[in-house]
A and B are shown apart, each in its own frame.
Chain A
Amino acid sequence: MQPPSAPASNDRGAATPTAGGVLPVDPPEGLPPPEDLIACPGCDALYVAQMPEPTGRAVCERCHRVLIAPRLDAGLRIIALTLAITILVTAAVFFPFLQIEAAGMGNRASIMDVATSFRSGVLVLVSVATIAVIVLVPLMRTLLLLYVLVPLTAGRRPARHARGAFRLAQEMKPWAMTEIFAIGCAVALVKVASLAHLEFGAAFWMFAVLVIIVIANDIYMCSWSIWKSIEDAE
């Protein structure tokens, strides 16, 4: 990603930005070229796009949706976090995750076991969906983001199909449910507490870290800035 100090061109030099980075469009002055504009995806309000201060954000005046929210060195941070996610997901999938003991008998389960626990008949579909939303989608999403962001951060031309890759990553966002799964673990713990003794495995802690990183990653990512830098870099 480009350093946030690079301004989205606003050669009209009009009044100071009201919402920390976007200016409402003033039709009597004539419409700036479309590439200088930003239209709120939530309510269609039109603004002149300007990169806000490195820590500031541009918010839609009408629906209060965050339009632009760049962070300093966001590219590098996202890459670091994304690498961490990839490693953690892979590790957490195969190491035992939770252990249980009751009346001298024990069992341990990895995330892979959890995801494949629906075996009978049509319930296999639930297994497929579970694997998808807690392992495959988060992993693919991080790999796609790496693919898009590494060349941009290094100041190179975007990778081939970078646009498609980033679009796919954005479309996957609601379907990556790592943090929900983590809360599910906590609920499961309480449910079996009366039935058996239960312990966390190493993978559980990896998973806990993973959830924090996933959330941090989403905070750093400003999709408008990334689209802008893909466009500018080509």
Chain B
Amino acid sequence: MITAREAGLIACRRCARAWPMGTKVCGRCGSRLMSRDTTSLSRVWAWWVAGVICYIPANLSPMLVTTTLLQRQENTIVGGAVEIAESGDWGVAAIVLIASVVIPIGKFIAIAYLAISVARRSARSPLARYRLYEVVEFIGRWSMIDVFVVAILSALVQLSVVATIRPGPAALTFALSVIFTMLSAQSFDTRMIWDPPRRRDRDDA
């Protein structure tokens, strides 16, 4: 096993074409070429911080404001899931909780761990870390589900005095948090996971 860098080549991350070291732009797809994206980690952390900052108000302020004949109710993300669970729909409550609490927090932890491990040139199993990255990238978009639910409900439940649903400020902060975290994951150059660790050089199987 030899990497493009060891072979004196530079690989295009978009179209997988190899070019002689020193080439600036991929002649096939036009992407900028970098053997290892050295600015990658700063961008990962910048988006990561933005994502975390937006995630806090997203959980504190209401996501949904429901007005019915009798009452006016403001639900946060977790509050809304608890309510669904109380009405007996455990499956849906679980979907909402997983999509808007477990996945976002898991992503923050996973991206931070990957970024730190790469910066310290950790020797921990690169395959496991790469898998973790793939999971994070695949699953990240699914957190948008809660924003869509709020959008659907606010458009549909407009029954004058009987019941109306309006979105709360958390819809914006939550959507931003998801978007920033997606950008953070996309900024990560996974090839750095595979570079040999700092101390003992280990051959990959």
Q: Which residues of A contact B (CB under 8 A)?
A: 24-25, 27, 31, 34-35, 37-46, 61-64, 67, 98, 100, 102-103, 105-109, 113-118, 120, 122-123, 125-127, 129-130, 133-134, 163-164, 166-167, 170, 174, 177, 180-181, 183-185, 187-188, 190-192, 194-196, 198, 223-224, 227, 230-231
Whether the pair A107, B156 counts as a contact (CB closer than 8 A) is yes
CA of A183 to CA of B13, assembled, Å: 31
* Chain A: minimal CB distance from B32 (Å): 11
Q: Are the C-beta atoms of B160 and A105 separated by less than 8 Å?
A: yes
Q: Which of B66-104 contact A (CB under 8 A)?
A: 68, 80, 84, 87, 89, 92, 95-96
Task: Name which of B29, B30, B156 has the most chain A CB atoms within 10 A of its CB.
Answer: B156
- Bound-complex Cα distance A61 to B194 (A): 13
Collect the chain A residues with CB atoms within 8 Å of residue B141's CB: 174, 177, 180
Contact of B13 among A41, A102, A174, A180 (CB under 8 A): A41
When A98-B152, A126-B167 are in contact, do A105 and B172 touch as well, CB less than 8 Å? Answer: no
Pick from A24, A177, A195: contact of B144, CB under 8 Å: A177
CB distance from A42 to the nearest CB of B (A): 5
CA distance A130 to B166 in the complex (A): 16
Find B29's partner among A31, A45, A46, A167 (CB 8 Å cutoff). Answer: A167
Chain A contacts for B126, CB-based, 8 A: 43, 63
Chain A neighbourhood of B153, CB < 8 A: 188, 191-192
CA distance A115 to B144 in the complex (A): 13
Which of the residues A117, A180, A230 comes within 8 Å of B145, measured between beta carbons? Answer: A180
**B52 at the A/B interface (Cβ < 8 Å)?**
no
Contact B152 A39 (CB under 8 A): no
Cβ distance B130 to chain A, nearest Cβ, rounded Å: 5
The chain B residues found within 8 Å of chain A, CB to CB, are 1-9, 11-20, 28-31, 68, 80, 84, 87, 89, 92, 95-96, 126-127, 130, 137, 140-142, 144-149, 151-160, 162-163, 166-167, 169, 171-172, 175, 179, 182, 186, 190-191, 193-194, 204
Contact present for A174 and B186 (CB under 8 Å): yes
Q: Given the complex, which residues of B lie within 8 Å of A223, measured CB to CB? A: 15
A180 in contact with B7 (CB, 8 Å): no
Q: Are A34 and B20 in contact (CB under 8 A)?
A: yes
Q: Are B159 and A185 in contact (CB under 8 A)?
A: no
Contact present for A114 and B28 (CB under 8 Å)? no
Q: Find out whether the CB atom of B194 lies under 8 angstroms from the CB atom of A62.
A: yes
Q: Could you pull out 15 A-B pairs where Cβ atoms are within 8 angstroms?
A: A34-B9, A39-B9, A39-B16, A43-B3, A43-B193, A63-B194, A64-B127, A103-B162, A107-B158, A113-B155, A126-B147, A133-B144, A163-B30, A167-B29, A191-B84
Q: Are B145 and A38 within 8 A (Cβ)?
A: no
State A54–B179 Cα separation when bound (angstroms): 37
Given contact pairs A27-B7, A163-B29, A187-B149, A196 touches B159 in the complex (Cβ within 8 A):
yes
> How far, in whole Å, are A39 and B140 apart by their CA atoms in the complex?
26
10 additional contacts (CB under 8 A) given A37-B9, A62-B194, A227-B15: A27-B7, A40-B16, A44-B194, A63-B127, A100-B156, A109-B152, A113-B155, A126-B172, A184-B145, A184-B149
Of A120, A184, A195, the residue contacting B163 (CB under 8 A) is A195
Cα-based distance from A196 to B186 in the complex (angstroms): 41
